[in-house]
Amino acid sequence: MSIAMTLRNETASSITNDVVSIQGPLPSSNSCESEIKLFAYSTDFNRTGITHYHEGAGIDYLFLTGNDSPKYIFNKCNRQIYVLLAGSYKQYLSEIDGFVQLTVAGPAGDFALHNVSGAHFLSVDGETDGWQACKNTNDPYNFSKTLYQLTFDGHGYSDCITVIVKAEYVQ
């Protein structure tokens, strides 16, 4: 049984895969969007914030960094997650061949939140069980020497732990 299923079974007797409804205010008038924070959970640790660090031209990789998370914007209508850069530029959450990153190149991957007894699990392309946190990924600025980098399906790295990713709405 996967860690995600184990953790879900602790909190829910049944799993629903309905995309959650929007809760909480957002600075824009777009009814499709809400601010969220992202957190990783595993059998080794509980509720660790997921943040992003610059790694290249318009690219930030995601890392597990502590108790809190920056705000991300979740658009349930087009199933995208992004952050705003200077002005109105968007940096989109993308998953390509296991690499999870924010990029100005545009979104890649279908992101949704699945409500399981009030917990909002993040999926990519319909999968919630592929999340892993890996060290020593050879990222450009070597953040992964000391921090866990968020990946999907481990991307072949050997120093990984399985995690689940949950979102919390910002009120």
Quote the tokens at residue 86: 């200077």
**Which is nearest to 146 in space by CA: 66, 67, 38, 68?**
66
Give the CA count within 13 Å in the CB-facing half-sphere of 27.
7
How confident is the model at residue 77, as a pLDDT? 96
CA distance 39 to 48: 5
Quote the tokens at residue 140: 């450009």
Domains of the chain: 33-169 (2.80.10)
How confident is the model at residue 157, as a pLDDT? 82
pTM over 0.85, yes/no = no
**Which is nearest to 110 in space by CA: 78, 84, 62, 83?**
78
| Phi and psi torsions of 129, nearest 5° | -95, 5
Q: Which residue has the higher pLDDT, 153 or 165?
A: 165
How confident is the model at residue 86, as a pLDDT? 82
CB 148 within 8 A of CB 64: yes
Could you read off the pLDDT of 38-72 as tens digits, one per residue?
999 999 889 999 999 999 999 999 999 989 999 99
DSSP conformation class of 9? H
**Which is nearest to 104 in space by CA: 158, 55, 163, 38?**
55
Could you read off the pLDDT of 72-101 as tens digits, one per residue?
999 999 999 999 988 889 999 999 888 899
